[in-house]
Chain A
């Protein structure tokens, strides 16, 4: 191959860094909002959800990219769906066997990864037309961009809503000290309801846009 480029060339690095900021699937493309609202009341499910989405997206991108020259174009969406659905069931089964508590919390949302627009979007827009390695990077980048937002939202929602942070392996940590509660501090119960997730995402979009002028529409 004459056009062999290094594994992490500038162009390939962009595949990872772009979705973290200027092409973020949640805050810029506003995809995958449903699960962002649903699993961010606590930090741990958000982290597990991010890892699950990363697993599904990376492997789905890789498989579709490997198969891209064999897939009959008339059933390509069906092929994509089968690949994604199979991977999601794998994740669900593995969680049920090794992380039962977390799988109970995520409940139906693992299954709903199938309908996460980010995944079908990346398969259709990227993996079908690019080489496997680039597709893997694209998968890592986009799921990381999704995960970062999920974790930021979950951090604030759990901290302000329950006064705790739940980390995998560490359990629930009390962050707001008891003394605050004795002085009359009260957890904001509104934070753990879905609308606050939307508002938090909105605030993140606001902050991101005010810091990055390229994102502001010219009119």
Chain B
């Protein structure tokens, strides 16, 4: 057959595409369970980290099963939603809905310090999504710990939100003021946050990411307001 002819070229391209598609589909299907498992484990590591429990890929499953004593999904009016598994709620989809239509997942974790509530967060940074988990004491007001991560913030600047020095100051802050109205926790420039129970220091050079974290906290925690006040 003429190797430069149209027929040969078309045949060649078609067969090549079919072979490649078959190989890739097979590999993808074979590895899918392991990949999903990795994503789950990474999520469990993050959840545990927000209450200060360190774990790795090997120990996360066990620790999670031991520490997380309950999960629930609530709605904006603070009522429990039945029939939805908190762990499988995809926040990236939820945050696109109207606040009143969203599912708000909540994890209850038993720690050496008593029971904590863990609230997942998701928002927008400079280059892509930022997310995290914040844990509250049983009073539903005082922050016990927080952990943040991001898809692709600038290394050394915005990406620092995943470092401890940024996350530790959240501990002990409160999300309601003395009169009981919702204030969230602001991420502020400079040293404004000193002595302010509702603010932490932002990262210099990472303003947009810092604001993203601030907005994320406000937006996500607001949905839990009614539930936490109960």
Q: Which residues of A contact B (CB under 8 A)?
A: 41, 70-75, 78-79, 82-83, 86, 89-90, 93-94, 96-98, 100-101, 104, 107-108, 161, 189, 192-193
Contact = CB atoms under 8 A, between A and B. Distances in A.
B118 to A, nearest CB: 21
Interface of B: 3-4, 8-9, 12-13, 16-17, 20, 23-24, 27-28, 31, 34-35, 38-39, 41-42, 57, 151-152, 154-156
A108 B128 CA distance: 12
Given A94-B31, A97-B34, A193 B156 contact: yes
A74 B3 CA distance: 10
Contacts of A98: 34
A193 B155 contact: yes
Contact of A97 (B8, B20, B38, B42): B38
A93 B31 contact: yes
DSSP class of B's interface residues: helix, strand, loop or mixed? helix
A60 to B, nearest CB: 12
A83 B24 CA distance: 11
B20 A86 contact: yes
A56 to B, nearest CB: 14
DSSP class of A's interface residues: helix, strand, loop or mixed? helix
Contacts of B27: 90, 93
B151 A96 contact: no
A96 B31 contact: yes
A75 B152 CA distance: 36
B49 to A, nearest CB: 14
A100 B3 contact: no
A100 B38 contact: yes
B38 A75 contact: no
Contacts of B41: 100
A107 B8 CA distance: 38
A100 B156 CA distance: 22
A180 B13 CA distance: 61
Contacts of A96: 31, 35, 38
Nearest to A74: B9
Contacts of A94: 31
26 contacts: A70-B3, A71-B12, A72-B3, A72-B8, A72-B9, A72-B12, A73-B4, A74-B9, A75-B13, A79-B12, A86-B20, A86-B24, A93-B28, A94-B31, A96-B35, A97-B31, A97-B34, A97-B35, A98-B34, A100-B42, A104-B42, A107-B152, A189-B156, A192-B155, A193-B154, A193-B155
A192 B152 CA distance: 14
A72 B24 contact: no
A107 B35 CA distance: 14
Contacts of A82: 16-17, 20
Contacts of B12: 70-72, 75, 79
